[in-house]
Every structure is written in structure tokens, then in C-alpha cells.
Amino acid sequence: MSDSSTTSKRTIRLSKLDVSYLANAQFLSDDLARIVSGATAAHDDARLLALDRATAERFRDEFTTRLANVGFGADYEATREGKLLEELIDRFGVEK
């Protein structure tokens, strides 16, 4: 029996900044980087990704690992990159 929650697609909207960050992210696996490069254009400089739940979770896992490694300063305050990663983690986890 197939679980529809793993096969249904969700659309994730990425800003120009998000796309630029992810396009240059050395930490993404090759297949995830290809997905980002294939994002479709929206009407306002944004890009859209249509992802199944499993792929969205893979992105979240990569973002979470990166966040743990570089996302916080010495005082445990989120760095600029950390804040961006936190936003991406939320966006890839919640259907919008």
C-alpha cells in the first residue's frame, strides 16, 4: 500500500536570495543541487520547487546539519547564514 503523504507534491517558494544561497551551497548533495537549479520561475523573481515529502525532508536534513556546523556564533546567537537556514528549515517543513 502506498502512502499518499510521501507521493503528494508540495510547492516551496524560494526568494532570489534563497536561490543564490542554495546555488552556491557546497554542502548540498549533487542531486539536491540539481533540483534547486531546475526550480521554475515565478512571476516575481522567485523560484518554485515542487517536492515530495521525502525530498523536502532530505533538504531539511542538509540544512539542519549545516546549521549545527556554522549557524551560530560564539554567544550561540544565530549568524546571518544561521537565520537563513532556520527560515529554509521551516519553509521546507511546512506546506504553504
Strand order in the sheet with 40-41: 9-14, 47-52, 40-41
**60-88 pLDDT, tens per residue?**
999 999 999 999 999 899 999 999 999 99
Region of 56 on the Ramachandran plot (φ > 0 left; ψ -120 to 50 alpha; else beta): alpha
Backbone phi, psi, residue 40, to 5°: -85, 150
Residue 32 contacts by C-beta under 8 Å, 6 or more apart in sequence?
A: 55, 58, 59, 62
**22-62 pLDDT, tens per residue?**
999 999 999 999 999 999 999 888 999 999 999 999 999 99
Q: Can you give the residue ranges of every domain in the chain? A: 9-93
Residue 6 has pLDDT above 70, yes or no: no
Beta strands in 15-95 (DSSP E): 40-41, 47-52
Q: What is the pTM of this model?
A: 0.86
